[in-house]
Amino acid sequence: MEVLIEMGKTIGRLLRILAWLAPVYQFRASVLRKCGVKVGKGVFIGYLVMIDSEYPEYVEIEDWAAIGPGAKLMAHSGSSPYLQKSKIYHGGPKKITIKKGAWIASGAIILPGVTVGEGAIVAAGAVVHRDVLPLTLVAGNPARAVQKLEPKKA
């Protein structure tokens, strides 16, 4: 049984590498779905986006969200074997949710347990360790709210 589980994890990792390099974003989304990531319709996933390799099922990307090239979505923090064995620290997996229409810009890092609100923007290179409110622009390391976004009236 353990061999089958390990084979499944290996195949999942290979599929995520394929998605990482795939030339068409729709194909990347399709492959990630097969790996257990919940991906909505119309989602854009850029090149070299890294989604948690151990717990892809803890990542949900809702409809019309966009994830820029090189972004990382990490649903767990494994720490070192020493810290785990001594029970000093072990961050178990926590769900990441990217809400409808949110935009994660290039190189941003989303850490375990974060929800990025509907229509929110995470600036390039930001490190997000707390929830992002809807229609809010966050930037920096650690990410902080920079601007409240207002929909334009037609």
CATH number of the domain that residue 85 is part of: 2.160.10.10
For the ranges 31-40, 51-60, 79-88, 135-144, the lowest mean pLDDT is seen at 79-88
Q: Is residue 154 part of a domain?
A: no
End-to-end alpha-carbon separation of the chain, Å?
A: 59
Residue with tokens 């809702």: 62
Q: What is the pLDDT of residue 91?
A: 67
Binned at pLDDT 50, 70 and 90, residue 4 comes out as very low
Q: What is the pLDDT of residue 7?
A: 52
Q: Is residue 117 part of a domain?
A: yes
Total domain count for the chain?
A: 1
Amino acid sitting at position 141: N
Q: Encode 16-29: b = buried (16+ Cβ within 10 Å), e = exposed.
A: beebbebeebeebb
pLDDT in tens, 50-83: 998 888 899 999 999 999 999 999 998 766 677 7
Q: Which residue has the higher pLDDT, 72 or 6?
A: 72
Q: Is residue 153 part of a domain?
A: no
Q: What is the pLDDT of residue 82?
A: 75
Is pLDDT above 80 for 3?
no
SS3 call for 52: coil
- Domain membership of residue 31 as a residue range: 2-148
pLDDT in tens, 74-127: 998 766 677 777 777 666 789 999 999 999 999 999 999 999 999 999 999 999
